[in-house]
């Protein structure tokens, strides 16, 4: 079936309720195209969505999917992949989901390096609750709950990922459709945890990190002939360079061995016998 799959097969019949112009439209389109391009179809794909505007993505896509508890999408995705390695698992969420309430899981999902992809729709604002600071909001970004700005520096997601032992770190921009799709595709193809921080502007509540801002300021690593994603030090320098924001695959460990391979997980755990498994009586004998 996969050869005939079109990206629209991943579209559900539900119309998105995102605000007109929301970055999430482009982010989702790129994800669907990347899934189709990498030979997946809705019946072998499992999408896990977090909570927030971004979390609605599970409803608008057509695949096996679960929309879970705020901040816990990554453990759910890891559980799915471990139990059935044949599935293509993609986790999507927002900056609040991934870097605030779910920050603890982010660190450990990165360390665990399960073979799945994680797209964070980063708009640097809490949109669904109508405009409060997010963990990636700028220090002086004024919102209803931070009238003078959060007065604390934003989380640097890529630095957090790098410090946690990431094997794939990328950044994309929802409006740069081709590049975004290409980067998500590389995350899917990566043997391990493919992390993509996608700038997905909120047109309603964020007038600072806008389409124009990213268009004017993003530096595409594809333009820098000399950036080798396998070069850890070069990646580190770019990630820690506060003067610029990059688009592209910043770091990829070519020797990445995913969790499932390290642990010999190669069976679909949904298949079990009709009774106690063969040799189960050996377990009782151990207690003699």
Distance CA 181, CA 109 (A): 23
Binding flag, residue 15, other proteins (CB under 8 A):
no
Binding flag, residue 262, other proteins (CB under 8 A):
no
Q: Residue 165 — left, alpha, or beta (φ > 0 → left; ψ -120 to 50 → alpha)?
A: left
Binding flag, residue 163, other proteins (CB under 8 A):
no
Please tell me the count of residues contacting other proteins according to CB under 8 A.
59
Interface segment toward other proteins; rule CB under 8 A; list 84-92, 171-179, 187-195, 234-242:
84-92
The C-alpha R_g of the chain, in whole angstroms, comes to 20
Binding flag, residue 277, other proteins (CB under 8 A):
yes
Interface segment toward other proteins; rule CB under 8 A; list 21-29, 126-134, 198-206, 279-287:
279-287
Binding flag, residue 79, other proteins (CB under 8 A):
yes
Token digits of residue 20? 């007109």
Nearer to other proteins, 42 or 248 (CB): 42
Nearer to other proteins, 147 or 275 (CB): 275
Q: Residue 138 — left, alpha, or beta (φ > 0 → left; ψ -120 to 50 → alpha)?
A: beta
Q: Residue 5 — left, alpha, or beta (φ > 0 → left; ψ -120 to 50 → alpha)?
A: beta
Site residues (CB under 8 A) for other proteins, limited to 44-73: 44-46, 48, 58-59, 62-69, 71-72
Binding flag, residue 187, other proteins (CB under 8 A):
no
CB of 284 to other proteins, least distance (A): 5
Binding flag, residue 210, other proteins (CB under 8 A):
no
Q: Are 52 and 96 in contact (CB under 8 A)?
A: yes
Number of Cβ within 10 Å of residue 184's Cβ equals 27
Residue whose entry in the numeric block shows the structure tokens 């094997």: 167
Nearer to other proteins, 33 or 105 (CB): 105
Distance CA 219, CA 23 (A): 19
Binding flag, residue 288, other proteins (CB under 8 A):
yes
Q: Which of 204, 168, 173 is nearest to 189 (CA)?
A: 168
Binding flag, residue 105, other proteins (CB under 8 A):
yes
Interface segment toward other proteins; rule CB under 8 A; list 104-112, 120-128, 222-230, 245-253:
104-112
Interface segment toward other proteins; rule CB under 8 A; list 22-30, 37-45, 149-157, 181-189:
37-45
Binding flag, residue 4, other proteins (CB under 8 A):
no
Could you write out the three-class secondary structure of 115-175? CEEEEEEECCCECCCCCECCCCCCCCCCCCCCCCCCCCCCCCHHHHHHHCCCCEEEEEECC
Binding flag, residue 40, other proteins (CB under 8 A):
no
CB of 160 to other proteins, least distance (A): 14
Distance CA 243, CA 140 (A): 16
Binding flag, residue 135, other proteins (CB under 8 A):
no
Binding flag, residue 11, other proteins (CB under 8 A):
no
Distance CA 78, CA 26 (A): 25
- Residues at the interface with other proteins (CB under 8 A): 1, 12-14, 42-46, 48, 58-59, 62-69, 71-72, 75-84, 86-87, 104-105, 107-108, 263-265, 267-270, 272-277, 279-281, 283-285, 287-288
């Amino acid at each position: 079936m996969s050869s005939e799959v079109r990206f629209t097969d991943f579209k559900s019949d539900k119309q998105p309720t995102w605000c007109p112009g929301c970055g999430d439209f482009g982010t989702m389109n790129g994800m669907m195209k990347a899934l189709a391009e990498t030979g997946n179809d809705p019946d072998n794909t499992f999408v896990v969505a977090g909570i927030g505007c971004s979390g609605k993505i599970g409803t608008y896509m057509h695949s096996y999917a679960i929309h879970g508890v705020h901040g816990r999408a990554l453990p759910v995705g890891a559980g799915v992949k471990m139990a059935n390695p044949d599935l293509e698992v993609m986790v999507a969420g927002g900056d609040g989901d991934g870097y605030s309430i779910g920050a603890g899981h982010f660190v450990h999902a990165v360390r665990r390096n399960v073979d799945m992809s994680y797209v964070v729709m980063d708009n640097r604002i809490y949109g669904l609750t109508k405009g409060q600071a997010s963990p990636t909001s700028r220090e002086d970004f004024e919102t209803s709950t931070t009238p003078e700005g959060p007065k604390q520096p934003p989380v640097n997601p890529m630095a957090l990922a790098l410090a946690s032992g990431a094997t794939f770190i990328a950044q994309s921009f929802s409006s740069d459709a081709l590049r975004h799709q290409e980067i998500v595709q590389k995350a899917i193809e990566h043997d391990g945890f493919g992390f993509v921080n996608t700038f997905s502007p909120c047109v309603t509540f964020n007038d600072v990190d806008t389409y124009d801002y990213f268009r004017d300021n993003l530096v595409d690593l594809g333009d820098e002939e000399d950036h080798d994603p396998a070069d850890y030090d070069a990646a580190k320098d770019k990630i820690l360079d506060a003067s610029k924001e990059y688009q592209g695959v910043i770091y990829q460990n070519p020797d990445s061995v995913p969790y499932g391979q390290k642990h010999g997980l190669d069976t679909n755990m949904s298949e079990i016998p009709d009774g106690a498994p063969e040799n189960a009586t050996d377990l009782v004998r151990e207690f003699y």
